[in-house]
Structure 1
Amino acid sequence: MSTLGWWRLIYAAFAGFLLFHGFSASENAPNYSFMHNATSAPFLSYYDYIVVGGGTAGCPLAATLSHLANVLLLERGGSPYGDPNITKLVNFGASLSDLSPWSPSQRFISTDGVINSRARVLGGGSCLNAGFYTRASPEYIRQAGWDGRLVNQSYEWVEKLVAFEPHLGHWQSAVRNGLLEVGVVPFNGFTFDHINGTKVGGTIFDEQGNRHTAADLLEYANPRGLTVLLYATVQKILFRFRGRRSRPEAYGVIFRDGSGIEHRAYLKYGFKNEIIISAGALGSPQLLMLSGVGPVAHLKAHNIPVVLDQPLVGQGMCDNPMNAVFVPSPIPVEVSLIEVVGITHFGSYIEAASGETFSASVTTTSRNYGMFSPKIGQLSTVPPKQRTPEAIARAVEYLDNLDQAALQGGFILEKIMGPISTGHLELQTRNPDDNPSVTFNYFQHPLDLQRCVQGIQTIGKIVESESFSKFRYDYMSWPGLVNMTEHSPINLLPRHYNSSIPLETFCRDTVMTIWHYHGGCQVSRVVDPDYKVLGVEALRVIDGSTFNYSPGTNPQATVMMLGRYMGVKILRERLGN
């Protein structure tokens, strides 16, 4: 066994011990009787539904299906409960900066050079993100062909457990008022709805700063109808042909536990039993390809037996480009993640985060700079392909040696809607633990770049607004400016929009991710409107990989809703037959 394999075995065994004995960092952590380490699983088992991926969609989907069927939920990571780096707002960024083999976050770097992360934990991206909760727009719902009434019911089902109203501090309030002052109107108050103008959105952090995730939605499950296996990495979907001209039919999966032991789970013989992939925008197209469903030339290049030539698997990959600037403050600011959003008329979203956070985690021994820390890959003062490990190390060292007063302030960011620019995903190896290669082609389309420029210009106007005046220095009087301009790993606001650095160049050179990547298994290309894989029987994909563009300003609410929504639809179909 490799060194990595031994570490995974040791960690899985330790995690299993904690799980079995009920250890948790939170008094309110659920005690799920149906959750087990995969090492305890039988080598052979049978279920009505097998859900691959216990993430933002997989958890609500499995919880819903468990009320009328026997469901297996396979998650390649561990439990979020008991890990303060996940559960506490003040520790945001600690998991994203953890590069260990058992981290709940698996780092990947797109071929564009932008550093990114994918979830490896029960609850998926809802365990790692900045917590903003907002619904999709009515137009998005209509275009998706969803049943509006069931959509609203599904959102409400999610919100009862995981969504809260944030209490704005002074800095977030100044951003809100600045947005209104510069014309991002009307003010829509606090709302989960996606409405043009400025609003206060929801959050999955409660008043005590505790994170609530998609894993919490498993509280809705029927414990007698659900089995959740942790550290269970699916190797491939199994297919069979019932006749010479029949279509391939999914009938089981092969997965390995944390010690590398192989297990098989099969669908019970029965009408409408299915395998559902909810492994995310990277994991779902990757698993389809590893199972033989994908572009035939690419599969053959990796010596993968072809089940179905599907050239559109892995196509249409998108990531919403994000650009942010640091605004130093002469007075202290609160610690906050995303709470306010300006939904502009030109297709850019303006959001903000503030304050320096300090991690109590044993895995983080120095300062944690939250959403825009070089430790989590958000190093934007050098062009993407120059963000090497050495450059990140220099940036972290620089920040750690700065006086705290120089980091007093916050970030205002813009994220374009869409985007129009798209890329693709390909396998690098046949190992499901390895990241695929993904290209997003940031700003390839000129409209995406135009929206970024307008977004940065809007940020400049907010900073210069009267509403924001007490949180900004007079630019020439800021004492840290001289020392931070040349070598700082923190972006400062471009002061002269038509000077030596055009904003188009600024956008390209400072682009980062906000972790809202999607695509790879899109509706009408890889799956039908009911999320059934085209050309295949008994297989669906239900997650963000099916999106043509990201819903709302932030997708997690809609991904959780989709899990519940499709769970209800599948059960209705099952009952109808």
Structure 2
Amino acid sequence: MSDLTADYVVVGGGLAGCVLASRLSQNGKEVILLEAGPDPTDNPATEFFLSGLTLQGGELDYAYPSDPVPTTANRVHHLSAGKALGGGTVINFGGWLRGDAADYDEWAEVAGDKRWSYEGLKPWFVKSEHFYDSSADPQEHGFDGPMYVTSVSAAEGGQRKYPLRETVKSAWAELGVPHNRDRKNGASVGLNEMHENCNQHGKRQPSNVVYPLNQVKVFTNAPVYRATFDGTKATGVELVDGRKVVARKEVIISAGAYQTPKILMLSGIGPTADLAQHGIPLVCESPYVGQNLHDHYAIHLAFRVRDPSLGYAFGSAAFQKPALLKGLPWDWIANQPLPGGILSKHQHETKPGWEKRNVFEVLTAYVVPGIPGIPIDGTHIATSTMLLLPTSRGTVTIRSSSPTDLPRVQPNYLSTQLDRDSLVHATRTAVKALTATENLKPVVEGESPPVKEGLEGLTPLTVDTSDEAILERLQRTGEQHQHSGGTAAMGKVVDGEGKVLGVTGLRIADASIIPVPLGGHPQATLYAMAEQLASMVLGDS
């Protein structure tokens, strides 16, 4: 590492960090980008999403161990986060789904800044996209952005249409869930087709490739210890190996929902008592650092097909059409609000308008996503049932003053009765759609519970399974969907432009600043967020 001074020092070369570094450098700013992980360019598993299934828990995944979670059978969860240049965009599954407009409007309300409403973010959604459908509304989608976005059915020249596509669509229609084709005005309730950010050849588009870094000084395998200060003005950063990097204008931390609060606290910004406990000199008291951790908790279910020879699932000898193997084998996502019966029991936990909010999603996949004991041999299709608007909140803190210690994470999944009731209802809905509709009953024989040591006693879920048994399954087998955020929340830790409150020269640009859970899958939102933050940084300069 030669010249250790730049206008901007960006900590974390993940999704947002690469966008910020790229946009600033394109506008004539000198930028140093520091990434703790390696450059994954030569790893062939990162090229396609299907091969990327092997990356979970590997060398490019932090897989942070949580504290045992009492509300999920006291299990330790391993929390995925990309440990490489490109961050999560190197190990994710390519879903490109915005949240509902109401989700962003709540973000803007909590942050006190309309720029984070759906209308405020819309220009940045448009800027980031190269949308596949030229007939789409140009007010809603972009056609000149860097990120190529396609629907599953339009990929591979329209050849990637899975055998159960129309059957699944009709099954959801039986349950009163209509196809929401155009998602007008940001409304995502209903049956949505999966959109992906794969290129025209079905390949992954990591942020460090799509947003060019050729004018950025990029340093990989360069973990950061803390930000450095002159009084309350950030002057640069110190690396774990002791080297110092100087920022003439700003330090921008983009290290993610787990590492960003850790770096803040090691820098002297955080809850006073926590810093004092570890002997860290206080730069600025910020009691909400590491609080408000939110994530999407989900359950994966496997459904046994009656006749595997029909080629409905990945692994079957008949499931060999090349186009079906580009991207993950999936197509539909059903977004739904809660029924009135559940909402009426939780009036004190919800806000006006919740009867229209998308609280959960059910995704249909034709490959089993690593469910223990379930073979990937064409005998099973699967669902992922995910809680979009959890009310449970967790925490991230530090274990010591050492920069090499992992952050301490307590996610507190399913810690509110509303979350438990919501996900029990959502799981029952998924089971009903797959096993009790006229369209899918002839296809699906039943649900197959996971099988491994520690999961003894689980029985197949049916529409008549008790709430208690569904909740037990959720607690014993559910897991995070790698959509964490909120630990340096806008309105509490940073302002509406990501600037850390109480200091100068320090900004946060990653999911940690998003103060409320959002529906959809986060990368579409994070690209738009990063584009807007880049414009704010440039505006200040």
SS at match of 2:63: strand
* Whole-Å separation in 2 of the counterparts to 1:348 and 1:215: 31
Report the equivalent of 1:239. 229
Deviations 1:257-291 (A, max 9, x none): xxx5x4221122xxxx2111110000110100111
SS at match of 2:384: strand
Report the equivalent of 1:107. 63
* Whole-Å separation in 2 of the counterparts to 1:136 and 1:487: 35
Q: Is 1:571 matched up with 2:517?
A: no
Identity among equivalent positions (%) equals: 24
Code of the residue aligned with 2:255 in structure 1: it is A
Code of the residue aligned with 1:80 in structure 2: it is P
Distance 1:240 1:195, change over 3 A: same
* Whole-Å separation in 1 of the counterparts to 2:509 and 2:499: 9
* Whole-Å separation in 1 of the counterparts to 2:520 and 2:456: 27
Code of the residue aligned with 1:125 in structure 2: it is G
Q: Is 1:94 matched up with 2:61?
A: no
In 2, are the aligned partners of 1:80 and 1:87 still within 8 Å (CA)?
A: no
Report the equivalent of 2:115. 146
In 2, are the aligned partners of 1:203 and 1:339 still within 8 Å (CA)?
A: no
TM-score (normalizing by structure 1) = 0.75
* TM superposition shift of 1:355: 2.3
Distance 1:74 1:177, change over 3 A: farther
Distance 1:284 1:337, change over 3 A: farther
TM-score (normalizing by structure 2) = 0.79
SS at match of 1:188: coil
In 2, are the aligned partners of 1:126 and 1:214 still within 8 Å (CA)?
A: yes
User: Which of residues 520, 523, 527 is equivalent to 1:560?
Assistant: 527
Distance 1:267 1:155, change over 3 A: same
Report the equivalent of 2:401. 430
* Whole-Å separation in 2 of the counterparts to 1:166 and 1:483: 28
Deviations 1:328-376 (A, max 9, x none): 12223344355421110221111122226xxxxxxxxxxxxxx3355xx
* TM superposition shift of 1:432: 3.2
* Whole-Å separation in 2 of the counterparts to 1:482 and 1:452: 17
Report the equivalent of 2:151. 165
Report the equivalent of 1:8. none
* TM superposition shift of 1:132: 0.7
Code of the residue aligned with 1:263 in structure 2: it is R
Code of the residue aligned with 1:351 in structure 2: it is L
* TM superposition shift of 1:316: 0.6
SS at match of 2:386: strand
Code of the residue aligned with 1:432 in structure 2: it is P
* TM superposition shift of 1:150: 6.3
Report the equivalent of 1:354. 366
Q: How many residues align?
A: 466
More helix by share: 1
In 1, are the aligned partners of 2:152 and 2:196 still within 8 Å (CA)?
A: yes
User: Which of residues 117, 125, 137 is equivalent to 2:80?
Assistant: 117
- 1:108-507 matches, within 5 Å, as 108-111=64-67, 112=69, 113-143=76-106, 144=108, 145-146=114-115, 151-160=121-130, 161-162=146-147, 163-167=149-153, 168-188=161-181, 193-206=186-199, 208-219=201-212, 223-224=214-215, 226-241=216-231, 248-256=232-240, 260=241, 262-268=242-248, 273-329=249-305, 330-331=307-308, 332-335=311-314, 336-346=328-338, 347-355=359-367, 371-374=369-372, 405=377, 408-463=379-434, 464-473=436-445, 475=446, 493-495=460-462, 497-499=464-466, 501-507=468-474
Distance 1:482 1:218, change over 3 A: closer
SS at match of 1:468: coil
Structure 1: where are the runs of 5+ without partners?
A: 1-40, 242-247, 357-370, 375-397
- 1:535-550 matches, within 5 Å, as 535-550=502-517
Code of the residue aligned with 2:32 in structure 1: it is L
* TM superposition shift of 1:185: 2.5
Code of the residue aligned with 1:553 in structure 2: it is G
* Whole-Å separation in 2 of the counterparts to 1:533 and 1:313: 10
Code of the residue aligned with 2:92 in structure 1: it is N
* Whole-Å separation in 1 of the counterparts to 2:183 and 2:505: 42
Distance 1:516 1:505, change over 3 A: same
SS at match of 1:535: coil
In 2, are the aligned partners of 1:324 and 1:491 still within 8 Å (CA)?
A: no
* Whole-Å separation in 2 of the counterparts to 1:55 and 1:490: 41
Report the equivalent of 1:385. none
